[in-house]
């Protein structure tokens, strides 16, 4: 199973590279890095930078994974994969892993470029990965629910608003008890802690472990919910 997942992840990374998804991340991150380095005041970086790190993999992970799913559907990739030993759960994990690795890599490089802290960059990887993986599951589920990308964009709006609740909590617009149940809250708190002068490393690692741990039940739920639909679309692709 692990070998099949690794092959699915590698295959997905190759297709995403061919579709120029890394270039999309690059176009988004480079201007923001330059803004944080030369335009944003140092006092604002402490609270503004974690919000950007939170929003980037959350929004891009959801949108790009959905776009990749529609690309797969158009090219008949899922139909080809379903005649191999690859199971829908393994296909889903491969897609989410590929998207998460891409988002985490760019997020970690962005953090390193802005802060210049190699050791803290290693700490930022787990919460970024958990957030990117969870947002990929959201994008996968929405892409399976809506037949085309235009309907997906309309259906995505309420989900993205829900996904951004922790941002409003961090800004004080909403109280934390209201948004504490959102899975991405743990990642945002971990990223925020890393921006203070002396971060509470055990708390950061605990929050990161919570966000990564949520990926397991989330993956099983999405896979079981859409397993029949994945096979049906593969058969009639």
**CA nearest 192: which of 120, 119, 110, 137?**
120
3-class DSSP state for residue 237?
Answer: coil
Rounded distance between C-alpha atoms, residue 191 and residue 194, angstroms? 5
How confident is the prediction for the chain on average, in pLDDT?
Answer: 81
Range of the domain at 100: 2-235
Rounded distance between C-alpha atoms, residue 74 and residue 60, angstroms? 21
Rounded distance between C-alpha atoms, residue 136 and residue 87, angstroms? 18
Give 23-77 pLDDT, tens digit per residue: 878 887 888 888 888 888 877 888 888 888 887 777 766 777 777 777 666 666 6
- Sign, CA torsion 54/56/61/67: positive
Give 160-219 pLDDT, tens digit per residue: 777 778 888 887 888 888 888 888 889 888 998 998 888 999 999 999 999 999 999 999
pTM for the whole structure:
0.85
3-6 contacts at long range (C-beta below 8 A, 24 or more positions apart)? 4/85, 4/86, 4/87, 4/90, 5/90, 5/93, 5/94, 5/97
**CA nearest 69: which of 84, 83, 88?**
88
Rg (CA), the chain: 18
Look at 112 and 150; give whichever has higher pLDDT: 112
Which two three-digit tokens encode residue 219? 């993956």
Rounded distance between C-alpha atoms, residue 86 and residue 61, angstroms? 23
Count structural domains, the chain: 1
């Amino acid at each position: 199973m692990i070998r099949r997942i690794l092959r699915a992840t590698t295959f997905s990374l190759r297709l995403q590279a061919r579709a120029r998804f890394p270039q999309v991340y690059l176009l988004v991150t480079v201007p923001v890095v330059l803004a944080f380095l030369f335009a944003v005041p140092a006092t604002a970086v402490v609270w503004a930078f974690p919000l950007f790190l939170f929003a980037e993999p959350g929004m891009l992970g959801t949108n790009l994974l959905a776009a990749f799913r529609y690309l797969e559907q158009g090219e008949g990739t899922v139909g080809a994969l379903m005649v191999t030993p690859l199971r829908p759960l393994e296909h889903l994990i491969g897609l989410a892993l590929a998207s998460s690795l891409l988002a985490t890599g760019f997020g970690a490089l962005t953090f390193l470029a802005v802060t210049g802290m190699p050791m803290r960059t290693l700490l930022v990887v787990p919460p970024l990965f958990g957030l990117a993986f969870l947002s990929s599951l959201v994008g996968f589920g929405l892409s399976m629910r809506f037949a085309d990308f235009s309907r997906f964009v309309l259906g995505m709006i309420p989900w993205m608003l829900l996904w951004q609740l922790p941002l409003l909590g961090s800004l004080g617009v909403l109280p934390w008890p209201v948004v504490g149940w959102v899975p991405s809250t743990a990642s945002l708190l971990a990223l925020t802690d890393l921006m203070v002068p002396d971060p509470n490393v055990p708390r950061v690692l605990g929050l990161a472990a919570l966000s990564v741990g949520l990926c397991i039940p989330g993956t099983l739920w999405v896979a079981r919910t859409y397993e029949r639909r994945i096979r049906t679309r593969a058969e009639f692709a």
